[in-house]
Structure 1
Amino acid sequence: MKFLFALCLIVSFNLFAQDANLAMDYFKKGDYEKALHEYKKLNAKSPSNTNYINQLIGSYQQLERYNEAEEFLLKLTSYKEFAPYLVELGFNYQLKNDLENANLCYKKALNNISLRPTFVFAIARAFQKHSLLNEAVLAYEKAMSLNSDFNFNIQLAQLYGEQGHVEKMFNSYLDFAQYNPGVLGDIKRRINEFLSDNEEGENNIIFRKILLKKLQQEPNLLWNQMLSWLFIQQKDLKKAFVQEKAIYNRQPESLNRIQELAIVAVDENKNGIAKEIFNYLINTAQDLETKLSSHYNLIQLETKECPKEDYRLIEEKYQNLFEEFGAFSQTLELQIAYGHFLAFYTDKTKEATKYLEKTLQLPLSELQKARVKLELGDILVLQKKFNQALIYYTQIQRNLKNSTISQEARFRVAKTSYYKGDFQWAESQLNILKSSTSQLIANDALYLKLLITDNKYEDSLQTALKLYSKADLLAFQNKTNEAISVLTKVLEEHKMEPIVAQALYKQALLYQEKHQLEKASENYKKIISNFRDGILVDDAYFNLGLLYEQQLDQPDKAKESYEQIIFNHADSIFFVEARKRYRALRGDAIN
């Protein structure tokens, strides 16, 4: 008997579920008469099921049978537990253009929150469902005034945003962040939708004033953090640094935030403020790791900006650092950087090699030795001692199988083979690296593989590809002028070959390094004009946009370049960044 009862129960449940699915299917298809018929039956069997109630009301209203919907709703709202349906009844009156009764129902619904504050959840959602934003705001505000445990600041902030009450929205988001610091990341994302990169943007000014006022009224590190974050969004890193120092002075536990700001400054090419921050870290940090890391980053920036005739000053700085801190495993990053500087900037390759070979004698881990060998291999490639370089790269692969640095060494093997003109071996190595666990290595490998594959079949002697790889090697050797000259030869002697687009693009990047910006822009324009269907056209548009925006001070032309990516290259990896920069140049406060 129990088995038969259970079987009947299962069959009954399945039939009931089928009826519900049928009703929903009718509703979705717009067959509201049939939907109404089915939902009436379902409601009769399960009168407290809110889903059936809502769909039944919706079916009545879609059929414009408002009086029947009203009759049904009046019965519901006579029960206390269905009081939130007063909003639905009010909206039904509104559909009948009976605004007087509609407003009476809305007031009754709000009054019900006073009787039972927990009704706010259903009542506020019902108001929002029908875009009755003012009433939804009143519902949340009323509930919060009645029960101090309620916090609807996040819901209110969203509603204020929809209403266009930006100041109220910002305040509510900040209040919620103060109440629940764990959601700060999400709050930042929501607020950022209403800000632009322009510090003079209306919303940016409002947000800044709110934070400064809060800081005056109630000193709280949260407000300093948010001000710093705002200034970073506006690329005003100097002001962000002021806030970060204030945070550290009040809570001197970690310099991580200031280190992160320094990296942002480097990434944004704000070298002046980056150097200021690194110097601050050097003078403030108590731990050796932070000091050494800051010295390393600072000397890299100074090297890039240093004229060739003053390289001796950089060399002296390295020597002073080794005198101060010594040459041991903790200064390994500085030692490798010094070897690189000697070889690639001052052409002292023998001295660099000798110095790094001495470094290898220190008590180092296998990973640390691999990093030194990677640099030694690069210095040998610089000297065109390819086979000797391959020995170092191969040792790394053998000693640290499947590691990221092993994959990096394999890529260097492929690149070295490519420089030698051994394109077949290079391609075989690149095929393996396409699935590298490092996305950066995988992308670089794919790019180089496509370059070889696309150009090795046009000419059996592979003359153009060999010339291009020679230019690539010269660029690696910091011989920029010679690299540009070889690429010019490629462009003049191989005009009809597919490598022309690659040569134009590579040459444009080298022109930018030498600050020959007009020549760089001309190359990008040639790619756009002559290779519109090629894989580099979106790269050309994006780099041209950056050139106009950041270096040529022509924002209107920058917008035109970004616009091309937005409307014609939606699958580009630059799409998101192009859209962001386009909107910033247009002065949007995006919401």
Structure 2
Amino acid sequence: MKYLSLLLFLVSITIAGQNDAIAKDYYNKGEFEKALHEYKKLYAQSSSNINYINQIVSTYQQLEQYDEAETFLLNILERINYPAFFVELGYNFQLKNEPEKANTYYNKALASIDVNPNHVFGIARLFQSHSLLEEAITAYNKAKALKPDFNFNLQMAQIYGEQGDLEKMFTSYIEFAVSSPIALNNVKRAINDFITEDSTNDNNIILRKILLKKLQEDPNLLWNKLLSWLFIQQKDFKKAFAQEKAIFNRESESLSGLEELALIALNDGQEDIALEIFTYLINTAQDIDTQLSAHHNILLLRTKLSNKEDFPNIKAQYNKIFEQYGKLPQTLDLQISYAHFLAFYDDKPEAAAQVLDHALDLPLNALQEAKVKLELGDILLLQEKFNKALIYFSQIQRNLKNSTISQEARFKVAKASYYKGDFKWAESQLNILKSSTSQLIANDALELKLLISDNKYEDSTQTALKLYAKADLLAFQNKKEESIIWLDKILKGHKTEPIVAQALYKQGQLFEEQSHYEGAITNYELIITNYRDGILVDDALFHLANIYIKQFNEPEKAKALLEQIIFNHADSIYFVDARKQYRALRGDAIK
């Protein structure tokens, strides 16, 4: 009997849930008569359910049956002590264009807070749902005066935002973060909707002034953290650096904020400030790992920005670090990057291989050993010793099955086969990698798979695809000028084949890396004009827009391109960034 009762109870809950969904569906479709009928049935089964009561009232109002709504609410108020219904009754009179009666009931709702401050939650929520924002604020302030431990900063921030009172909104969000530090990231997300990358935007200025005033009045680290975050959004990394240093000087437990800032600046292309922060980390950090990571990032950056005249100095810096810290497992990442520099920049692959061979003699764990072998395989690919490279990649796959680095090794096996022109074997490996746990590897695998499958049948000899693979290999070998020349062979000799779009895009990227922006513009424009239905058009639009922004300071041209992504390519991976950049270029005053 006990189990039968439980079963009947569960069945009744299921049926009620289904009926609720039916009622909501009718309401959302504007079929209010049907919705009212369903909600009345639900109310008959559960006459104290606040949601059903509210929905019946709302449905009456949608049908303009205000008298029926009034009668229903008055009956409810006789039976249930829930003063929030005074708000609903007042709003019903407002809809009937009887403002005096409406205010009478609004005041009754507010007066009930004096009796029990806990009534504020339902009352303020209903005021806000009917856009009675001043009344909602009055309710919250009244309850807080009676019960100071109540915290309505979050709710009031949202109301001030709806009113467009940005100063009060920012202040309320900030005060909420003070009382609930765990919610700081949520506060940042809420504030982020109202600011832009433009430091001269009115909203940005308001927020900055509030934080600076708070900092003067009370040296709370939260103000420094929010100022640093604001400066990062504005890409003013130098000012963010000053705030992060202030945080570290008072809270010396971690340099993680400075490390993160340096990497953000680096990824945004602000190399000078990134170098300054990494240098500060080297001089300030007490732990060796932080120092080594900073050294590593500095050398990677200097290598990226270098020319042949800089190579002796870069080598000297690597060797100075090895003299200071030793060639130990702790400096393994530096040893690998040094080998990469020797092979791919200084044209000394044999010396690079020696560095890595010595590294393999160190007491490494399986993952560290795999990282060394991965780089050794790359150096062999650089030398076009494909079969020897495959040995190292296969060892990684065998020793660290199903790991991310194993999947990376499989991808390199596919790339080696692709470089050799063995497209069938490359495809078989790429098919496996499409479901890789690493999204980056999966995306790269799918991209290469599509390149091969879309072009291998176009020509029985696969001449154009082989030319492209050769150009791709040259780019991997850091022989960018030669790669550009090989891509030209496709553009001139295979004009009618689909691989032309890919060749234009690859060449455009190489032109950008060579700072040959006019060439890049030409290529991207050809893709946009001639391949507007292809998969690369959004890539071309985004890259072209960024050239106009960063290299030529032509925001109007950039806006037109970003607009095309926003309106014609909503599924593009660039959509979010394009919209953000477009709004910044337009100088939106976000409210």
Structure 2 length-normalised TM: 0.94
Structure 1 counterpart of 2:57: 57
After superposition, the Cα gap between the structure-2 partners of 1:71 and 1:457, relative to the gap in structure 1 and judged at 3 Å, is closer
Report the secondary structure of 2:156's partner residue.
Answer: helix
Structure 1 counterpart of 2:310: 310
| Cα distance between partner residues in 2 of 1:136 and 1:48 | 24
Write the mapping of 1:573-584 to structure 2, written as runs, cut at 5 A: 573-584=573-584
Structure 1 counterpart of 2:271: 271
Structure 1 counterpart of 2:280: 280
Structure 1 counterpart of 2:215: 215
CA RMSD of superposed structures (Å): 2.5
Indicate the larger mover: 40-49 or 443-452.
Answer: 40-49
Structure 2 counterpart of 1:246: 246
Residue 133 in structure 1 maps to residue 133 in structure 2: yes
Report the secondary structure of 2:553's partner residue.
Answer: coil
After superposition, the Cα gap between the structure-2 partners of 1:535 and 1:37, relative to the gap in structure 1 and judged at 3 Å, is closer
Letter in 1 for 2:403: S
| Cα distance between partner residues in 1 of 2:10 and 2:262 | 65
| Cα distance between partner residues in 1 of 2:378 and 2:37 | 78
Write the mapping of 1:482-561 to structure 2, written as runs, cut at 5 A: 482-561=482-561
After superposition, the Cα gap between the structure-2 partners of 1:216 and 1:461, relative to the gap in structure 1 and judged at 3 Å, is same
After superposition, the Cα gap between the structure-2 partners of 1:40 and 1:286, relative to the gap in structure 1 and judged at 3 Å, is closer
| Cα distance between partner residues in 1 of 2:538 and 2:303 | 32
| Cα distance between partner residues in 1 of 2:475 and 2:21 | 66
Give how far 1:488 is off. 0.8
| Cα distance between partner residues in 2 of 1:3 and 1:419 | 68
Per-residue Cα deviation, 1:429-481 (whole angstroms, up to 9, x for no partner) = 11111111111111111111111111111111111111111111111111111
Structure 2 counterpart of 1:110: 110
Report the secondary structure of 2:435's partner residue.
Answer: coil
Residue 340 in structure 1 maps to residue 340 in structure 2: yes
Letter in 2 for 1:144: K
Report the secondary structure of 2:274's partner residue.
Answer: helix
Give how far 1:323 is off. 0.8
Contact 2:382–2:476 (CA under 8 A) maintained in structure 1: yes
| Cα distance between partner residues in 2 of 1:298 and 1:375 | 20
Letter in 2 for 1:527: I
| Cα distance between partner residues in 2 of 1:5 and 1:359 | 71
After superposition, the Cα gap between the structure-2 partners of 1:292 and 1:488, relative to the gap in structure 1 and judged at 3 Å, is same
Structure 1 counterpart of 2:187: 187
Contact 2:360–2:369 (CA under 8 A) maintained in structure 1: yes
| Cα distance between partner residues in 2 of 1:292 and 1:469 | 37
Contact 2:565–2:578 (CA under 8 A) maintained in structure 1: yes
Structure 1 counterpart of 2:170: 170
Give how far 1:31 is off. 5.8
| Cα distance between partner residues in 2 of 1:381 and 1:283 | 38
After superposition, the Cα gap between the structure-2 partners of 1:59 and 1:316, relative to the gap in structure 1 and judged at 3 Å, is closer
Letter in 2 for 1:113: I
Residue 388 in structure 1 maps to residue 367 in structure 2: no
Report the secondary structure of 1:81's partner residue.
Answer: coil
Structure 2 counterpart of 1:563: 563
Report the secondary structure of 1:546's partner residue.
Answer: helix
Give how far 1:23 is off. 6.7
Give how far 1:559 is off. 1.1
| Cα distance between partner residues in 2 of 1:279 and 1:313 | 17
Report the secondary structure of 1:82's partner residue.
Answer: coil
Give how far 1:310 is off. 2.3
Give how far 1:536 is off. 0.7
Structure 1 counterpart of 2:371: 371
Letter in 2 for 1:223: W
Indicate the larger mover: 45-54 or 524-533.
Answer: 45-54
Structure 2 counterpart of 1:454: 454
Per-residue Cα deviation, 1:168-206 (whole angstroms, up to 9, x for no partner) = 000110111110111111110000000000000000000
Indicate the larger mover: 149-158 or 75-84.
Answer: 75-84
After superposition, the Cα gap between the structure-2 partners of 1:39 and 1:473, relative to the gap in structure 1 and judged at 3 Å, is closer
After superposition, the Cα gap between the structure-2 partners of 1:519 and 1:90, relative to the gap in structure 1 and judged at 3 Å, is same
Letter in 2 for 1:270: Q
Give how far 1:37 is off. 6.7
Letter in 1 for 2:208: R
After superposition, the Cα gap between the structure-2 partners of 1:478 and 1:112, relative to the gap in structure 1 and judged at 3 Å, is same
After superposition, the Cα gap between the structure-2 partners of 1:47 and 1:468, relative to the gap in structure 1 and judged at 3 Å, is closer
Gaps of 5+ in 2: none
After superposition, the Cα gap between the structure-2 partners of 1:474 and 1:20, relative to the gap in structure 1 and judged at 3 Å, is closer
| Cα distance between partner residues in 1 of 2:130 and 2:139 | 14
Contact 2:471–2:483 (CA under 8 A) maintained in structure 1: yes
Indicate the larger mover: 458-467 or 163-172.
Answer: 458-467
Give how far 1:39 is off. 6.1
Structure 2 counterpart of 1:95: 95
What fraction of aligned residue pairs are identical, expressed as a percent? Answer: 63
Per-residue Cα deviation, 1:324-359 (whole angstroms, up to 9, x for no partner) = 111111111111111111111111122111222122
After superposition, the Cα gap between the structure-2 partners of 1:25 and 1:589, relative to the gap in structure 1 and judged at 3 Å, is closer
Give how far 1:61 is off. 3.0
Contact 1:193–1:589 (CA under 8 A) maintained in structure 2: no
Give how far 1:136 is off. 0.9
Give how far 1:66 is off. 2.9
| Cα distance between partner residues in 1 of 2:404 and 2:522 | 38
Letter in 2 for 1:95: L
Structure 1 counterpart of 2:290: 290
Structure 1 length-normalised TM: 0.94
After superposition, the Cα gap between the structure-2 partners of 1:315 and 1:136, relative to the gap in structure 1 and judged at 3 Å, is same
| Cα distance between partner residues in 1 of 2:18 and 2:362 | 75
Give how far 1:64 is off. 3.2
After superposition, the Cα gap between the structure-2 partners of 1:460 and 1:75, relative to the gap in structure 1 and judged at 3 Å, is closer
Give how far 1:549 is off. 1.4
Letter in 2 for 1:367: L
Letter in 1 for 2:325: F
Give how far 1:571 is off. 1.4
Indicate the larger mover: 46-55 or 548-557.
Answer: 46-55
After superposition, the Cα gap between the structure-2 partners of 1:469 and 1:77, relative to the gap in structure 1 and judged at 3 Å, is same
| Cα distance between partner residues in 1 of 2:374 and 2:12 | 72
Give how far 1:250 is off. 0.2
Letter in 2 for 1:265: A
Give how far 1:54 is off. 2.7
Letter in 2 for 1:551: Q
| Cα distance between partner residues in 2 of 1:6 and 1:478 | 71
| Cα distance between partner residues in 2 of 1:141 and 1:541 | 51
| Cα distance between partner residues in 1 of 2:40 and 2:270 | 68
Per-residue Cα deviation, 1:370-409 (whole angstroms, up to 9, x for no partner) = 1111111111111112222112212222222221111111
Structure 2 counterpart of 1:481: 481
Indicate the larger mover: 236-245 or 536-545.
Answer: 536-545
Contact 2:508–2:524 (CA under 8 A) maintained in structure 1: yes
| Cα distance between partner residues in 1 of 2:37 and 2:342 | 86
Give how far 1:304 is off. 1.7
Gaps of 5+ in 1: none
| Cα distance between partner residues in 2 of 1:501 and 1:230 | 40
Letter in 1 for 2:100: E
Report the secondary structure of 1:350's partner residue.
Answer: helix
Report the secondary structure of 1:519's partner residue.
Answer: helix
Structure 1 counterpart of 2:445: 445
After superposition, the Cα gap between the structure-2 partners of 1:399 and 1:139, relative to the gap in structure 1 and judged at 3 Å, is same
Contact 1:113–1:120 (CA under 8 A) maintained in structure 2: yes
Indicate the larger mover: 416-425 or 170-179.
Answer: 416-425
| Cα distance between partner residues in 2 of 1:125 and 1:189 | 22
| Cα distance between partner residues in 2 of 1:367 and 1:488 | 41
